[in-house]
Amino acid sequence: MRLTGFATGPFQTNCYVGVNEETKKAFVVDPGMGAYERVLQIVQEAEAELEAVVLTHGHIDHTRDAGAFGLPTYIHPADQYMLDGGRGLGDQTLALHDVANMAPVEDIVDMPAVLDVAGIRLSTLHAPGHSPGCVMLVAQLAEAGVVFSGDVLFRGSIGRTDFDHSDPDAMRESLRGPVWDLDDALHVLPGHGPTTTVAHERATNPFLLQANAGR
């Protein structure tokens, strides 16, 4: 699979496009504001067909352009309400993302435990805390395993838990459970900032280490 990542929108949210070069099918993860045209360009240059939109969670900086594709859009049920005009975040954030002119997501699909998309198998790990429906998506590829970590795990940090719908206790349990249990060899493709590896974060990330102290 060929993976392309780029940052977009006011919060420089990472968007990823996966192209299966054998099937010529593609998917997009977290198309934030301004991602639409770039995604289409990447898919066109690969002579592929975009098959689905995959969302790590429901925050508007990750979902702003999802509706523009008119494709099945996979998201955990707990965050689906956020697709209704960007609910869950403040008015200033919604204005920054021009929600008034946002294409609605028409085809919302519950995120399954295992998602087969574009001939690629993604294993879904529910990791609430930043939002109720945060997930991480793991793909074991021939080249290397990757995890799309959304706003659960960043290089040296984690997603914030001070929104009304956030839950610091749930985040702690996510860090102790699905995050800690990730394979060290996985490359981490986060929702913001640079890429990293699970091994690096397990050794250096202060939030991950604090949550797992004494283990």
Q: Is it the case that residue 88 has pLDDT exceeding 90? A: no
Q: Is 48 within 8 Å of 19 (Cβ atoms)? A: yes
Helix extents (H) in 56-204: 60-63, 91-96, 168-174, 198-204
pLDDT, tens digit (0-9, with 9 covering 90-100), for 104-132:
999 999 999 999 999 999 999 999 999 99
CATH topology of domain 2-211: Metallo-beta-lactamase; Chain A (3.60.15)
- Show the CA angle centred on residue 173, arms to residues 167 and 176, nearest 5°: 145
**Band of residue 12 on the pLDDT scale cut at 50, 70, 90:** very high
Give the pLDDT confidence score for residue 82 in this predicted structure.
97
Give the chain's mean pLDDT: 96
Domain ranges of the chain: 2-211
Give the pLDDT confidence score for residue 144 in this predicted structure.
82
% of the chain with per-residue pLDDT over 90? 95
